[in-house]
Structure 1
């Protein structure tokens, strides 16, 4: 999966899980838990939504790598 497809998938998944997050808040450096205010349940739903839409499973050991919007995009692009 290329970067643009991964970014689109991540933005769509965040929009489903946290519809109140503004698209302008989705800068690469934005931290999912702190900056976008996703709680642990929201984060798990985001991981499940990504898996459902892209087929990319993110194991718990890789959660630190996907702590930011950019990290999540990179991970999905690399594994999709």
Structure 2
């Protein structure tokens, strides 16, 4: 999966989990939990939606690597 496809998949997944997050808030450095205000259940749902839509499973040990929008995009692109 290339970066563009991964970015689109991540944006769509965030839109499903947090429909109140505006697309312009999805800057690369935006932190999922702090800046986008995803609580722990939202974050887990996001990981689940990513797995369902892209086939990329994110183990708990890798959560620090996917703490930002760019981190999640890079992870999905590299594992998809």
Shift of 1:75: 0.1
Q: Summarize the alignment of residues 22-61 of structure 1 with structure 2, pairs less than 5 Å apart.
A: 22-61=22-61
Give the Cα–Cα distance (whole angstroms) in 2 for the partners of residues 33 and 13 of structure 1. 14
Distance in structure 1 (CA, Å) of the matches to 2:50 and 2:64: 16
C-alpha offsets along residues 42-72 of structure 1, whole Å, 9 cap, x if unaligned? Answer: 0000000000000000000000000000000
User: By how many angstroms is 1:2 displaced?
Assistant: 0.2
Q: What is the total number of aligned residue pairs between the two structures? A: 80
- For the pair 1:71 / 2:71, whether they are aligned, the reply is yes
* Gap regions ≥5 residues in structure 2: none
Q: Deviations over 1:3-48 (max 9, x none)?
A: 0000000000000000000000000000000000000000000000
Superposed CA RMSD:
0.2
TM-score of the aligned structures, taking structure 1 as reference length: 1.00
Normalised TM-score (structure 2) = 1.00
